[in-house]
Chains A and B, each alone.
Chain A
């Protein structure tokens, strides 16, 4: 196991290096400049500003400098926020996104699993149709539409929760979390339902039943565990996506999150923030995938981690 993880971490650095390189050069092909009033300056004035930010140097030199700083853990300074350290910026924006993502994920997956199991155990009944319906709605209604409805009813009509903003403690996080939960809810429900139905019809379940195990025991002890595997596979990227923030939800609820900042950085050509966030997202995604791979082994011991030598 330890050997496996070390190997994976090594690969992770190679992946990160490739991502950093590709992003750097792709980013530089973006139209626009981080100098917001470039069109108002004459060439000499522009040259002074570019020199200050090192933008006057040839691309390979800029790349070399960036990578050198990166190795030392320095992500540089933001262009749009004058003098702001990119690492500080990412860290300060990460908290809210992470809280919302985690709450949304837990809520969505928990409800999704329950719905999926109900649907599978009560196949072709009103319960099944009901939960399938909910799952379809969850996947087909965009989260911003759902968020707007939540805002209208819970905050404006019933005045139960704050409309938006990140200033009312846990209360501020409820609506955005629910809005974020719809996607994972639908995904989890559909996966669990399909898998459970398949597992429930397999031989070992019939055996368990014939041995006199209660239907509760069959469903949870035997069937559920096996039905989890495909869900865990999609859960990794889903979690990475959720925990790294959502532009739409963050904008609707005015949350100081990282998802919103990432898109803004691209719009204003804030190179160092684009790089920093991309790298951070990559590290996170790679890490989550590693965790998922380890989880496989726990859920199903037949999947072996140390088989990398074949």
Chain B
């Protein structure tokens, strides 16, 4: 008895000493020592053809579980990311982020009116050995529109694009009437509602993946609820996923038509939600990539493994012009202009965010959409509503006079994360300092509450953001149409509507003219109407082991492609 008591005591002392010792080291946190063995190995740049002798295994972390692998039902980034690596549609985003034919043997033939696309399907197999046919596409797309499936992204991605999709989603036409038809085993004929310039980029999106009819039907409700009940036709196969668990892996799919290109044999995933833990797993060599955020991003700003990438999500202030049936002070364009120009965005991204984000003086993000000869859409319009205190104050004065007031109190609605709160404090300080007579109140709520308040238009100024669903400026521009689903701020400008609608209407087949129209609309929205005030374009910072090569980051749909990835110099 006494002896065991002693053992307990000793072990406790050990535990305690660990803890106390750690206290002393508090100021120099966990990380400053790089594991030099790991790092030195891969730093010399080698760009020759990869040597595939090492274990081609990649170890990754995900921030959330897989809700489903059913391509008709996926709505989240984890699902789309995995589908992009396990499955393949008519098109796939290549290493330059351009959608190129994948299961389509070549570019489709397009009818003169731009409405009918005819695809030839290449010889490809599902992971069970059966052939991928044109019928698999027809089945999958119709399934996504079938009300029984209750797909969210099906109607969202197909309405207005595929013939009859809108009518089907409104319940006036049966889903079997969708504009897609397998002419024979290898020929798919797609009929569009109207000419859609970005249609081919949509063909790389998860919702448009084919499904093996026989397999899906046989699995019934159990389809894609774990790794046994799903088929792949892409570079990798999903394994060891129980449907709700925190780990799974991708293994090379030998049945993939382009399997010769795929070098990785295995990708191991674990869901880790705590960023500090992810970094710890990274520094001990358990994981090969760690996304950084908040304080950790600052701490690793000078790490040689750090990779900064520009994301395609843009954040902005929404100015609500009508709240509870009454006009708000923000219905005055001068007040909107004053706020849009009244805070320093550069300091915000450098000091407050400090996570790789960049100042946005625009709505359509940089490095997202390009003309045929590779010119960024951003080159067309340049910067708008740039930070300028004098102009802001002049507009503020004018606006207050028009309203007949000397002071105003406005609410900023934002998120409840640490970062969001820090940002809100910054906005309050900047705006109250620069605009005399303005009082800002802050309302910080969880995401779901913010969505509710947005839907009910119950806010003054909202710090919101948007990420693209397809590779065209229209995915951002359609938000502020008078009846746009995300408008929720009573912004309405007939000229804007006309310009944006023309880009998918009469100008749809004229690439230059539709870009010009959308550029003009963007100018109208931001620089004349100040309907929204762009703040920043999100950047990401992550630590990536130098021996990980060839991973492609995408600007929409799945986040990454591992088809071309390999390990070298580990």
Q: Do A and B bind each other?
A: yes
B361 on interface, CB distance cutoff 8 Å: no
B221 on interface, CB distance cutoff 8 Å: yes
Q: Is the Cβ of A49 less than 8 Å from the Cβ of B221? A: no
State the CA gap A137–B70 with chains docked (Å): 49
B497 on interface, CB distance cutoff 8 Å: no
Nearest B residue (CB) for A273: B244
Query: A115 contacts which of B12, B277, B485 (Cβ < 8 Å)?
Result: B12
Q: Which of A79-87, A235-243, A290-298, A300-308 is found at the contact surface with chain B?
A: A79-87
Known contacts A36-B76, A256-B246: does B19 contact A149 (CB below 8 Å)? yes
Nearest B residue (CB) for A181: B15
B window 237-290: CB within 8 A of A: 242-247, 270-274, 276-277, 280-281, 283-284, 286
* Across-interface contacts of B148 in A (CB, < 8 A): 52
Q: Is the Cβ of A148 less than 8 Å from the Cβ of B276? A: yes
State the CA gap A168–B67 with chains docked (Å): 25
Known contacts A36-B152, A254-B272: does B169 contact A167 (CB below 8 Å)? no
B9 on interface, CB distance cutoff 8 Å: yes
B18 on interface, CB distance cutoff 8 Å: yes
State the CA gap A83–B276 with chains docked (Å): 32
B374 on interface, CB distance cutoff 8 Å: no
State the CA gap A152–B448 with chains docked (Å): 35
Q: Is the Cβ of A81 less than 8 Å from the Cβ of B65? A: yes
B419 on interface, CB distance cutoff 8 Å: no
Q: Which of B433-441, B449-457, B538-546 is found at the contact surface with chain A?
A: B449-457
State the CA gap A153–B19 with chains docked (Å): 8
Q: Is the Cβ of B280 less than 8 Å from the Cβ of A163? A: yes
* Across-interface contacts of B271 in A (CB, < 8 A): 254, 256
* Across-interface contacts of A39 in B (CB, < 8 A): 451, 454-455, 485-486
* Across-interface contacts of A93 in B (CB, < 8 A): 244
Query: B277 contacts which of A48, A49, A253 (Cβ < 8 Å)?
Result: A253
Nearest B residue (CB) for A270: B67
Most buried by B among A35, A53, A148, A164: A164
Q: Is the Cβ of B245 less than 8 Å from the Cβ of A92? A: yes
Q: Is the Cβ of B281 less than 8 Å from the Cβ of A164? A: yes
Q: Is the Cβ of A152 less than 8 Å from the Cβ of B245? A: no
Known contacts A89-B244, A164-B281: does B73 contact A82 (CB below 8 Å)? yes
Query: A155 contacts which of B76, B273, B276, B284 (Cβ < 8 Å)?
Result: B284
* Across-interface contacts of A141 in B (CB, < 8 A): 19
B window 54-78: CB within 8 A of A: 65, 67-68, 70, 73, 75-76
* Across-interface contacts of A42 in B (CB, < 8 A): 155, 159, 169-170, 485
A window 70-100: CB within 8 A of B: 78, 80-84, 88-89, 92-93
B window 136-177: CB within 8 A of A: 147-148, 150-153, 155-156, 159, 169-171
Query: A31 contacts which of B73, B159, B277, B452 (Cβ < 8 Å)?
Result: B452
A277 on interface, CB distance cutoff 8 Å: no
Nearest B residue (CB) for A151: B280
Nearest B residue (CB) for A261: B244
Q: Is the Cβ of B70 less than 8 Å from the Cβ of A40? A: no
* Across-interface contacts of B223 in A (CB, < 8 A): 83
Nearest A residue (CB) for B488: A39
* Across-interface contacts of B16 in A (CB, < 8 A): 134, 137
State the CA gap A36–B68 with chains docked (Å): 13
State the CA gap A82–B72 with chains docked (Å): 11
Q: Is the Cβ of A83 less than 8 Å from the Cβ of B283? A: no
* Across-interface contacts of B448 in A (CB, < 8 A): 30-33, 267, 269
- Shortest CB distance B148–A (Å): 8
Report, as a range, how many residues of chain A touch the other chain: 35 or more
B8 on interface, CB distance cutoff 8 Å: yes
Q: Is the Cβ of B8 less than 8 Å from the Cβ of A40? A: no
Q: Is the Cβ of B273 less than 8 Å from the Cβ of A254? A: yes
Query: A163 contacts which of B68, B75, B170, B284 (Cβ < 8 Å)?
Result: B284
Q: Is the Cβ of A82 less than 8 Å from the Cβ of B451? A: no
Query: A149 contacts which of B18, B68, B485 (Cβ < 8 Å)?
Result: B18
Nearest B residue (CB) for A252: B274
Query: A156 contacts which of B170, B242, B280, B485 (Cβ < 8 Å)?
Result: B280
State the CA gap A94–B169 with chains docked (Å): 40
* Across-interface contacts of A45 in B (CB, < 8 A): 152, 155-156, 159, 169
A window 102-151: CB within 8 A of B: 110-111, 114-115, 118, 134, 137, 141, 146, 148-151
- Shortest CB distance B340–A (Å): 24
Nearest A residue (CB) for B270: A165
Give per-residue flags for A251-273: 1 if the beta carbon is below 8 A from chain B beta carbons, else 0. 11111100010000001010000
* Across-interface contacts of A53 in B (CB, < 8 A): 150
* Across-interface contacts of A284 in B (CB, < 8 A): none
Known contacts A31-B452, A48-B147, A155-B284: does B225 contact A82 (CB below 8 Å)? yes
B46 on interface, CB distance cutoff 8 Å: no
Known contacts A37-B152, A149-B18, A156-B283: does B244 contact A78 (CB below 8 Å)? yes
Nearest B residue (CB) for A257: B246
Most buried by A among B22, B222, B451: B22
Q: Is the Cβ of A159 less than 8 Å from the Cβ of B75? A: no
State the CA gap A111–B5 with chains docked (Å): 9
Q: Is the Cβ of A81 less than 8 Å from the Cβ of B68? A: yes
State the CA gap A110–B12 with chains docked (Å): 11
Give per-residue flags for A155-174: 1 if the beta carbon is below 8 A from chain B beta carbons, else 0. 11001001111110000000
- Shortest CB distance A126–B (Å): 13
B351 on interface, CB distance cutoff 8 Å: no
B45 on interface, CB distance cutoff 8 Å: no
Most buried by A among B22, B148, B246: B246
Nearest B residue (CB) for A82: B68
Query: A41 contacts which of B68, B155, B284 (Cβ < 8 Å)?
Result: B155
Nearest B residue (CB) for A48: B147
A227 on interface, CB distance cutoff 8 Å: no
* Across-interface contacts of B451 in A (CB, < 8 A): 31-32, 38-39
Q: Is the Cβ of A156 less than 8 Å from the Cβ of B5? A: no
Q: Is the Cβ of B243 less than 8 Å from the Cβ of A81? A: yes
State the CA gap A11–B437 with chains docked (Å): 61
Most buried by A among B18, B225, B270: B18
- Shortest CB distance B533–A (Å): 21
* Interfacial residues, chain B to chain A (CB-CB below 8 A): 5, 8-9, 12, 15-16, 18-19, 21-23, 30, 65, 67-68, 70, 73, 75-76, 147-148, 150-153, 155-156, 159, 169-171, 221-225, 242-247, 270-274, 276-277, 280-281, 283-284, 286, 446-449, 451-452, 454-455, 485-486
Task: Apart from A36-B152, A48-B155, list 13 A-B contacts with CB within 8 A.
Answer: A32-B451, A39-B454, A48-B147, A48-B169, A53-B150, A81-B225, A92-B242, A148-B276, A149-B22, A159-B284, A165-B270, A252-B277, A254-B273
Ranked 3 nearest A-B pairs via Cβ:
A32-B448, A52-B150, A82-B68
* Interfacial residues, chain A to chain B (CB-CB below 8 A): 30-33, 35-42, 44-45, 48-49, 51-53, 78, 80-84, 88-89, 92-93, 110-111, 114-115, 118, 134, 137, 141, 146, 148-156, 159, 162-167, 178, 251-256, 260, 267, 269
A-B contact pairs, 18 of them (CB 8 A): A36-B152, A37-B152, A37-B156, A42-B159, A44-B171, A81-B67, A82-B68, A83-B68, A83-B223, A92-B244, A110-B8, A154-B18, A155-B284, A156-B280, A162-B286, A165-B286, A167-B247, A267-B446
